[in-house]
């Protein structure tokens, strides 16, 4: 089966080989307090920094999911309040999860055809600004220029960015925010159960000022353990190993970004002029590069998804409120050109 699901998504072809290697090398039962594990943690962090252009001064933590990162930010970083600027289901979910722990969390919803409304952020805001860089539910993105202007305009704020469905697929300017996180079952092309959380010195400072250590996954404890290249609980060692192996083989993020961008342009061209299947988002300046959300009549979507499956192609369902009216196609690095051609050949008769 070729999977175009935008998460959990198709994994790299080499994964079975790497899992066998992990078994042979004893990684599957590796002790997480051993020097071998500490070396693995360190090597993976070095590779992440080199391959994704993460500044050396930033710290990298391993958690089990992006949802866990939402909660870590709420419990360990947000002091008084947070502002959640979102246009879709994932950003909204982040807000609701945060609100349970931080009642003063504020929602700032915006239209998914519009650019993120910077003006709606109060002047000299100093709380935590929560932004979903790539909204997986509707296929929109907040581009690098906007993130950078927010960083410049709000130097007192701490900026947290959910990049779950874009990190590893597009080049991100890590300096333009303080906390970035992504789980690995999207653009990293790996099985679920691991997430990467990237923190600037400013984020670490804010965590220290909040001084919260009441949880096994309090950021202060993760930070203390990371200083020893360890984790506070037995982590997904296999996941970290697979991340290390795939990163080693990866091209630079600029090269990957170019590939994802030209594939995205090719998809735009492919659907252009079709009376039956169109992009859900009409404004190309806010359209995601990594997740394509397409709209068609619900009956047609059902037929397409079903027929695709019989041909060995898995398409992504619409998400949340968009379930009936949309379907999604992942534009993630682990997908091969031949597979895209196969999907286009299949879809051509429905255009």
Q: Give the residue with the Cβ less far from ligand PLP, 18 or 181.
A: 181
Smallest gap from Cβ 7 to ligand PLP, in A, equals: 5
- Contact by Cβ (8 Å): 241, 18: yes
Q: Which of 63, 136, 236, 246 binds ligand PLP (CB under 6 A)?
A: 136
Q: Give the residue with the Cβ less far from ligand PLP, 2 or 192.
A: 192
- Residues 155-174 touching ligand PLP, rule: CB under 6 A, are 162, 164-165
Smallest gap from Cβ 161 to ligand PLP, in A, equals: 10
Q: Which of 7, 127, 189, 316 binds ligand PLP (CB under 6 A)?
A: 7
Pairing, β 134-135 against β 140-141: antiparallel
Distance between CA atoms of residues 318 and 91, nearest Å: 16
The yes or no reply on residue 8 touching ligand PLP (CB under 6 A) is: no
Candidates 61-69, 101-109, 217-225, 268-276; binding stretch for ligand PLP (CB under 6 A): 61-69
Q: Give the residue with the Cβ less far from ligand PLP, 162 or 178.
A: 162
Q: What are phi and psi of 328, to 5 degrees?
A: -125, 150
Find the DSSP H helices in the chain: 15-24, 35-52, 66-76, 89-101, 144-153, 201-210, 219-226, 237-249, 253-271, 298-310, 337-347
Picking from 213, 235, 234, 210, the residue whose alpha carbon sits closest to that of residue 224 is 213
Picking from 214, 172, 215, the residue whose alpha carbon sits closest to that of residue 196 is 172
The yes or no reply on residue 67 touching ligand PLP (CB under 6 A) is: yes
Distance between CA atoms of residues 178 and 176, nearest Å: 7
Give the x/- contact pattern for ligand PLP in 174-193, rule: CB under 6 A. Answer: ---------x----------
Q: Which residues bind ligand PLP (CB under 6 A)?
A: 7, 65-67, 90, 132, 136, 162, 164-165, 183, 195
């Amino acid at each position: 089966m070729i999977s175009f699901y935008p998460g959990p998504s198709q994994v790299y072809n080499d994964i079975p080989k790497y899992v066998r290697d992990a078994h042979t090398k004893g990684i599957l039962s590796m002790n997480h307090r051993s020097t071998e594990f500490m070396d693995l943690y360190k090597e993976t962090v070095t590779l992440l920094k080199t391959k994704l252009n993460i500044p050396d001064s930033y710290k990298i933590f391993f958690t089990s999911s992006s949802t866990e990162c939402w909660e870590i930010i709420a419990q360990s970083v947000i002091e008084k309040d947070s502002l959640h600027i979102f246009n879709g289901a994932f950003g909204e979910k982040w807000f609701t999860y945060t609100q349970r722990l931080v009642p003063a969390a504020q929602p700032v919803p915006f239209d998914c055809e519009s650019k993120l409304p910077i003006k709606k952020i109060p002047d000299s805001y100093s709380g935590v600004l929560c932004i979903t860089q790539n909204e997986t539910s509707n296929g929109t993105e907040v581009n690098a220029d906007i993130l950078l202007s927010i960083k410049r305009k709000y130097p007192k704020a701490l900026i947290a960015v959910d990049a779950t469905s874009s990190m590893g697929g597009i080049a991100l300017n890590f300096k333009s925010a303080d906390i970035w996180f992504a789980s690995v079952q999207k653009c990293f092309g790996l099985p679920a159960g691991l997430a990467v959380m990237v923190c600037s010195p400013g984020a670490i400072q804010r965590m220290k000022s909040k001084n919260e250590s009441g949880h096994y996954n309090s950021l202060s404890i993760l930070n203390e353990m990371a200083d020893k290249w360890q984790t506070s609980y037995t982590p997904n060692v296999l996941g970290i190993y697979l991340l290390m192996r795939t990163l080693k083989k990866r091209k630079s993020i600029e090269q990957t970004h170019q590939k994802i961008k030209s594939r995205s342009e090719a998809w735009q061209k492919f659907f252009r002029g079709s009376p039956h299947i169109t992009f859900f988002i009409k404004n190309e300046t806010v359209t995601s590069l990594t997740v394509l959300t397409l709209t068609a009549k619900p009956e047609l979507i059902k037929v397409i998804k079903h027929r695709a499956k019989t041909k060995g192609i898995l398409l992504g369902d619409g998400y949340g409120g968009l379930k009936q009216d949309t379907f999604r196609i992942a534009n993630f690095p682990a997908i091969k050109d031949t597979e895209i051609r196969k999907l286009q050949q299949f879809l051509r008769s429905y255009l």
